[in-house]
Amino acid sequence: MHPFTYTRVASTREALDAGRRGGRYIAGGTTLVDLMRETVEQPEALVDISHLPLREVTATERGGLRIGALVRMSEAAAHPKVRTLYPVVSEALELSASAQLRNMATIGGNIMQRTRCTYFRDVTAACNKRDPGSGCAALEGHNRTHAILGTSDACVATHPSDVAVAFAALEATVHLLGPDGARTLRFADFLLRPGTTPNREQALRKGELITAVEIPALPRPLKSGYLKVRDRQSYEFALTSAAVALHIRAGVIREAKVAAGGVGTVPWKLPAVERHLIGQRPSAALWAEAAAKAADGARPLRHNAFKTELLTRTVERQLRVVGGTQ
């Protein structure tokens, strides 16, 4: 591990000052410390923000829910409002990592976590994300767990977060605070596809801090849930996943929010699936027809063509679980 300085800040102002000077924010540290041990990341200055007052879950005036960036994953999953209003968020969190990690890791850290591509973590391998311009060992290497959507010639790594898939489905926003003030980004604009610069993963400006994730108000009743398909039943990342939320009134689907995980370089929103559902009556045939659009545009690699069919089946099953067949 390379030498670094460590500063714990007590106020947002102190944090922003340190961030402006190039300090790297750390809270739960469940990703960054691992990467520092492996010398994948070598920050010179760590700024511990874990004592900032960003640990509240609050209902918004607009009828949504605001989750502070430093709320622990386990706290968010267990929060009565999250459980009641957005089960898809609770389920995505509870299917992530281990209980110990969920007790440490924060919501802000979770959506910032870096890919699990093994070549990214192997400092002897070519990796454009870790070392821009060095190439991508995964393109010709073992790529069974890699992305089939949103890829580029520079990078095919998946985004590893589960709860980010739920946030993408629900069209959450990310609240940021930086040296130039506060701003809010749509979740879809916060995480970046790799393009030619896979080393740039979020639309953050220098020194900006995530303060909260906000889920918008959605029509009620809203049924929602998260399905994660993986090689083993716990402590494993998704091969495919589906976050689904449906508002069904008088037997007709009025609102549909659907996204997939484990298949995209970012959490993958499925607007074609959503459009196919709205205005229709739930039925087994409808779920199958809508899910058939989930893998539109997929570009499988040598070892992960199975994900195309698996994604379709994952989405179909979760539509059936959430929507039933009334």
**Residue 212 engages ligand SF4 in binding (rule: CB under 6 A):** no
Sequence-distant contacts of 249-254: CB under 8 A, at least 24 apart: 249/219, 249/221, 251/281, 251/282, 251/326, 252/279, 252/280, 252/281, 253/277, 253/278, 253/279, 253/280, 253/281, 253/282, 253/323, 254/219, 254/278, 254/279
Q: Please name the residue that has the structure tokens 């398909």.
A: 229
**Quick check: 179 and 20 in contact, CB under 8 A?**
yes
Give the shortest CB-125-to-ligand SF4 separation in angstroms: 6
Which of 138, 164, 168, 263: binder of ligand SF4 (CB under 6 A)? Answer: 138
> Which residue among 9, 137, 191, 229 contacts ligand SF4 (CB under 6 A)?
137
Alpha helix segments (H runs only) across 42-172: 73-78, 80-85, 87-94, 99-104, 107-112, 118-121, 137-140, 163-170
Q: What residues from 89 to 118 belong to the interface with ligand SF4 (CB under 6 A)?
A: 115, 117
Please work out the total of residues on this chain that contact ligand SF4, with binding judged by CB under 6 A: 14
Q: Does the protein bind ligand SF4 through residue 136 (CB under 6 A)?
A: yes
Instruction: Tell me the sheet residues that pair with 246.
Output: 223, 256
237 is a contact residue toward ligand SF4 (CB under 6 A): no
Residue 120 engages ligand SF4 in binding (rule: CB under 6 A): yes
Q: CA–CA separation, 324 vs 320, rounded Å?
A: 5
Q: What's the alpha-carbon Rg for the chain, to the nearest Å?
A: 20
In the complex with ligand SF4, which residue's Cβ is closer, 115 or 318? Answer: 115
Query: Considering the complex, what minimum distance in angstroms separates the CB of residue 197 from ligand SF4?
Result: 11
> Cβ closer to ligand SF4: 56 or 153?
153
Q: Is 155 in the site for ligand SF4 (CB under 6 A)?
A: yes
- Print the binding letters for residues 216-235 with ligand SF4: x by CB under 6 A, - otherwise: --------------------
> Cα–Cα distance between 125 and 251 in angstroms, integer?
54
Contact range with ligand SF4 by CB under 6 A, out of 14-22, 128-136, 181-189, 266-274: 128-136
Q: How far is the CB of 34 from ligand SF4 (least distance, A)?
A: 15
Write out the DSSP string of 95-114. Answer: TSS-HHHHHH-BHHHHHHPP
Shortest distance in whole angstroms from residue 256 CB to ligand SF4 = 31
Residue 133 or 221 with smaller CB distance to ligand SF4: 133
Interface segment toward ligand SF4; rule CB under 6 A; list 40-48, 83-91, 120-128, 293-301: 120-128
Q: Are residues 168 and 264 in contact, defined by beta-carbon separation less than 8 angstroms?
A: no
Q: Which is nearer to ligand SF4, 31 or 115 (CB)?
A: 115
The nearest distance, CB 161 to ligand SF4, in angstroms, is 15
d(C-alpha 3, C-alpha 5), whole Å: 7
Catalog residues that contact ligand SF4 under the rule CB under 6 A.
115, 117, 119-120, 127-129, 136-138, 155-157, 198
